[in-house]
Structure formats: structure tokens, C-alpha cells
Structure 1
Amino acid sequence: MTRVLGVDACKAGWVGVLRTNGKVTAFVAPTIDQLVQQAEQPLDVIGIDIPIGLPDTAPRKADLLARAAIGRLSSSVFTTPVRAALQAPTHAEAVLINRELTGQGLSIQAYGLRAKLFEVDEWIDRATTRVVEVHPEVSFAYLAGAPLTVRKSTWSGSEHRRALLAAAGIILTGDLGLAGHAVGVDDVLDAGAAAWSALRVAEGEAISLPDPPETFADGRPAAIWV
């Protein structure tokens, strides 16, 4: 029995979609540790929508390839800042550091993810399950056989993604265990897409962008799996 967990960041912290033997349930927790504990062990693979492997002096190939795979919705992939920039105490300082090392600045949105980036960066050293980075829009593009053109914030966009996941065995209906939690539809869809990619990894069907993954000074393989 294959058990995989797809994870996405949300306002409440983290949301996870667990797929076990065709059954789908979901969890919400303020920390990644607590989320994984709710899913219980053993898990075969965890797919998470957060960069793993922070670059040193240049943009990651994973981000560039993900943009190419997504096409029109490529703005959903932000360029992962270098580690030194994320460690800066202010956004202004981070921009200077990132520009000095890569020739590019960084958005306030990318800098704002630093807490979650470092939370995962620290947690992954303790994880007992294989953890891979995913990007939901890349997963949806592969599910559809072509880049999607309508955002999931729209009715048609969310319904299209829900149907794609259902056809692949990730059926997101009912409360899923999320009753009483203020979790956005887009976050649940993204966690579902992460679970689909995690399942492909577990079954040996996934590919990585790039192939092989890059490795930076932190020693972690940097690639988006789909």
C-alpha cells in the first residue's frame, strides 16, 4: 500500500493531502513537523511546494525549467533567492545581496517566504521519509498534457484542476477532514497536485527538472519532480 503526502503552504501554516490506497484525506497544521505527524508514518514520499536546495550564486535550473513547462502562468514560479540573501534581516539588504551574487533583485513576496523556506530547510534534515520538491502548476501541466491557461483562482480554473486530479485518482470532494479550517481552495488543489507528483515518485514514474538535479553548497539535490 503506497502512502504519499502532498504539502502546500497556507495562511494557517501548512495543508497536506494524504493519498492512501486510493483514499484521500487532508490535514492542516501550523508547522511542517506537526502536519507530517498528523499524517502518521510510514509514508513513502512527501511532495512539497517549496524550494529545496537554495542556490549560491545563480538562478536554479529547476525554476527556469518550471517556467518553460508552465508557459502562460509562468509568473507562479518565483526565482529562488540565494541563501545569503534570504538570511538578510531586511528586504532591502536581501535585494542588494541577491543582485550582487546573481545580477537580479528579488521580490518582497519571495523574501516573505523566507520563514517557511528555512522551516523546511531545517526540518528536512530530520525527515525520515523521502522529501521531494514539486510545483503544482508544473504537475497540472503534465496532467493536462499541455500548460494550463486559466488560473485556479477562477471557477473554471479550479474545476478543471479538480477534474484533472480526480481522473488521476486524487479525488478532492467533501470536507476531507478540513471542516472548520480556513484553507483556500487553491491551497487544497496545490496539495493534491503535490500528492499526485509524490505518488509518481513513489511508483518510479516521475521525472526531475533538471535531470539530474543540481547540487549547491547545502548539498541538497535541487529539482522539481513531476
Structure 2
Amino acid sequence: MTGAPVLGVDGCPGGWIGALLVGDGVTLRVAPGIEELLAALPGAPAVVGIDIPIGLPDSGPREADRLARRELPVGRKSSVFPTPARAAVLADTWPEANEANRAATGKGLSHQGFNLCRKIAEVDAWVLAGPGVVVAEVHPEVSFAVMGADTRPSKQRPEGRDVRRRALRDVGLDLPAELRGPGWAVDDALDACAAAWTARRIARGEALSFPDPPEVFSDGIAAAIRA
């Protein structure tokens, strides 16, 4: 698996952006759904690293989120959102999701958190159905931190994008010349590339796991952020 293609995936306005890493070369692809993204590849990747919670808690916070925040500097820890409880992810409206999350965890769910629930539910159903590839949860900011990048500058700013672009090149990734397109921005592409770097580390048996071993909730899915 050490030389096999791997895929890093991040959500974007156009759906999902995938960074296919073959050797050190990265090719970017966008599709409205995760299954469509995988179907458009020339073959199945050895590992898919995706920036979305996998393994949803029944109650309380996930250890994965707590440990991932510890890897980030002050000012960036909030980029690791609390994972909604499974009951909240399955709710149809924000008031229902907010109430379900409060009942399950003692805390409400922000509108920002609810806006992620559709994508969380999409990936959850895909993973539970058995996609036929290794799928792992990643968090790009944690991946950048493990690379040694200074993640304090926001990637919404030019200096933050430059820091992360240099970090990816320093770990050997040959990035595309164009990192933006219809339905996706530079930060989406950089995050997908960071996820691909972690996917390659998983394939090589080099990745860290937060926690190690993973937690397992009632869905039976191993819940850990890899980097």
C-alpha cells in the first residue's frame, strides 16, 4: 500500500473536493457527492482521508475532538468543532437538532454545527454501507500542525495560505498550479491536500491516531482523528 494512490477529501461549496495523490503528484477533482467523487477516479484509492466526523457519539464529547484541539495553538483550537450527537445529525431542522443534541450531551448545537450535519450524515451512511476502501477521519489543521506548519495565521488570509502551501511542498507534495475553481477555493484545495498527506501516512503505517486506540460508539465505527 505504500506506493498506492490515496485520496484526501474536504467539503466545499460545490460538494466535495478530492486531492488524488499518486506518487508525489496531486490532481484535484470536485463532485457534488462523496460517492460521485470516488466513482470519477481511475481506480479505488488505498485510503480515503476525509475532513468530516466519522463515528458519532451517543452522548457527551468525543475524545478525538478533545485530543485534536490539544495539537493546535491558542487561537486555532476552535477550528475543531464539537461533533454533534447521532440523534442531532439525523434531525431535520435546527430546533430539532439543537434539542436532540442538548438532550444527548447537555449542550445545544450551533447553527454552524447544524449546517455540517447534512455532510456528516452523507458520509456516515456511506461508511456504514461499506465503501470498499479504507476511510479515515482527518482534520487538516491537525495535519498541518503535525507537518510542522505554524497554523496560527488563518488560511483565509494570504499569509496563512502561503504557510500551508509551503508546508505541503516541504513534505514532498507536488501541488497543481491552480488551487481554485468553480465551487471550490484555495483553502478547500489546501485542506484536501493535507488530508491526502495524512491518507498516505495511514497507508504507510506512519499516521498518528487521536485517540489511540479509537473510541467506539453504538454505530460500531472507530472514532479517531488521524494525522
Note if 1:13 corresponds to 2:15.
Answer: yes
1:141-188 CA-to-partner distances (Å, cap 9, x unmatched) read 11116x521111111100110010011122223137x6x533110000
What is the aligned residue count? 223
Is residue 218 of structure 1 aligned with residue 181 of structure 2?
A: no
Task: Please show how residues 1-226 of structure 1 align to structure 2 within 5 Å.
Answer: 1-72=3-74, 73-124=76-127, 125-144=129-148, 148-175=151-178, 181-226=182-227
Cα displacement (A) at 1:56: 0.1
User: Could you report, residue by residue, the CA deviation over 1:118-140 in whole angstroms, capped at 9, with x for unpaired residues?
Assistant: 11111122311100000000000
- What value does the CA root-mean-square deviation take over the aligned residues? 1.4
| 3-state SS, counterpart of residue 59 of structure 1 | coil
**SS at 2:168's partner residue?**
helix
Q: Between the two proteins, what is the percent identity of the paired residues? A: 49
Mapped contact 2:7–2:45 kept (Cα < 8 A): yes
User: Which is further off, 108-117 or 189-198?
Assistant: 108-117
User: What is the TM-score of this pair, normalised by structure 2?
Assistant: 0.94
| SS class of match (2:147) | helix
The 4+ residue runs of structure 1 with deviation greater than 3 A are none
For normalisation by structure 1, the TM-score amounts to: 0.94
Gaps of 5+ in 2: none
Q: What is the CA–CA distance in structure 2 between the aligned matches of 1:5 and 1:95, rounded to whole Å?
A: 33
